[in-house]
Amino acid sequence: MHTELKKLFPLKEYLGPKGWIEDLSTIEPHLVEERGLYKGKSDLLLKPNNTNEVSKILKLCNKYNIKIVPQGGRTGLCGGTIPSNNGQEVMLSLERMNNIKEFNEKNFTVTVEAGCILSNIQDQASEKNFLFPLSLASEGSCTIGGNLSTNAGGINVLRYGMARDLVLGIEVVLANGSIWNNLTSLRKDNRGYDLKQLFIGSEGTLGIITSAVLKLFPSPKNIETALFAVPNSEAAIELFGLARSASADLLNAYELVSRVGMEMVLKNIPGAKEPMNNKYKWYVLLEFSSSSENNMRKQMENLFEVALNKNIVLDGVIAESTQQRKDLWLLRDGLNEAQKPEGGSIKHDISIPINNVSKFINDATYSVVKFMPESRVVAFGHIGDGNIHFNISQPKKSNKEDFLNKWESINKIVFDIVNDLDGSFSAEHGIGKLKREELKFYNPEIEINLMKSIKTTFDPKNILNPGKVL
Q: Which of 42, 150, 290, 358 binds ligand FAD (CB under 6 A)?
A: 150
Least separation in angstroms between residue 92's CB and ligand FAD is: 8
Q: Is 72 in the site for ligand FAD (CB under 6 A)?
A: yes
Comparing CB distances to ligand FAD, the nearer of 234 and 342 is 342
CB neighbours of residue 165 within 10 Å = 13
Least separation in angstroms between residue 13's CB and ligand FAD is: 24
Q: Which residue is nearest to ligand FAD (CB)?
A: 146
Rounded Cα distance, 377 and 163, in Å: 29
Rounded Cα distance, 150 and 468, in Å: 12
| Pairing verdict, β 222-230 and 315-318 | antiparallel
C-beta separation of 66 from 90 below 8 A = yes
Q: Is 76 in the site for ligand FAD (CB under 6 A)?
A: yes
Rounded Cα distance, 230 and 239, in Å: 9
| Segment near ligand FAD (CB under 6 A); pick from 149-157, 287-295, 340-348, 392-400 | 149-157
Q: Which of 83, 133, 145, 316 binds ligand FAD (CB under 6 A)?
A: 145
Q: Which of 19, 40, 48, 80 binds ligand FAD (CB under 6 A)?
A: 80
Fill in the per-residue mask, 418 to 437: x = in contact with ligand FAD (CB under 6 A), - = not in contact: ----------xx--x-----
Comparing CB distances to ligand FAD, the nearer of 93 and 290 is 93
Per-residue buried b or exposed e for 10-23, using 16+ beta carbons within 10 Å of the residue's own CB: ebeeebeeebbbee
Residue 341, judged by CB atoms within 10 A of its CB (0-12, 13-18, 19+), counts as exposed
Least separation in angstroms between residue 76's CB and ligand FAD is: 3
Q: Is 142 in the site for ligand FAD (CB under 6 A)?
A: yes
Least separation in angstroms between residue 367's CB and ligand FAD is: 25
Cα 68 from chain centroid (whole Å): 22
Q: Which of 42, 51, 62, 75 binds ligand FAD (CB under 6 A)?
A: 75
- Count of residues near ligand FAD by CB under 6 A: 35
Q: Which of 19, 48, 201, 204 binds ligand FAD (CB under 6 A)?
A: 204
Q: Is 203 in the site for ligand FAD (CB under 6 A)?
A: yes
What is the DSSP track for 189-232? --SS--THHHHTTSTTSS-EEEEEEEE-EEPPSEEEEEEEEESS
Residue 179, judged by CB atoms within 10 A of its CB (0-12, 13-18, 19+), counts as middle
Comparing CB distances to ligand FAD, the nearer of 40 and 72 is 72
Q: Which of 44, 61, 90, 152 binds ligand FAD (CB under 6 A)?
A: 152
Q: Is 209 in the site for ligand FAD (CB under 6 A)?
A: yes
What is the longest distance spanned by two Cα atoms in the chain? 73
Rounded Cα distance, 220 and 46, in Å: 39
Of the candidates 240, 217, 227, 242, the one whose C-alpha atom is nearest the C-alpha of residue 292 is 217
Helix (H, G, I), strand (E, B) or coil at 99: coil
Least separation in angstroms between residue 154's CB and ligand FAD is: 4
Rounded Cα distance, 229 and 166, in Å: 32
Q: Is 114 in the site for ligand FAD (CB under 6 A)?
A: yes
Phi-psi category of residue 304: left, alpha or beta, with phi > 0 → left and psi -120 to 50 → alpha: alpha
Fill in the per-residue mask, 335 to 354: x = in contact with ligand FAD (CB under 6 A), - = not in contact: -x------------------
Residues that bind ligand FAD (CB under 6 A): 70-77, 80-81, 94, 114, 136-138, 142-143, 145-147, 149-150, 152-154, 203-204, 208-209, 336, 428-429, 432, 465, 468
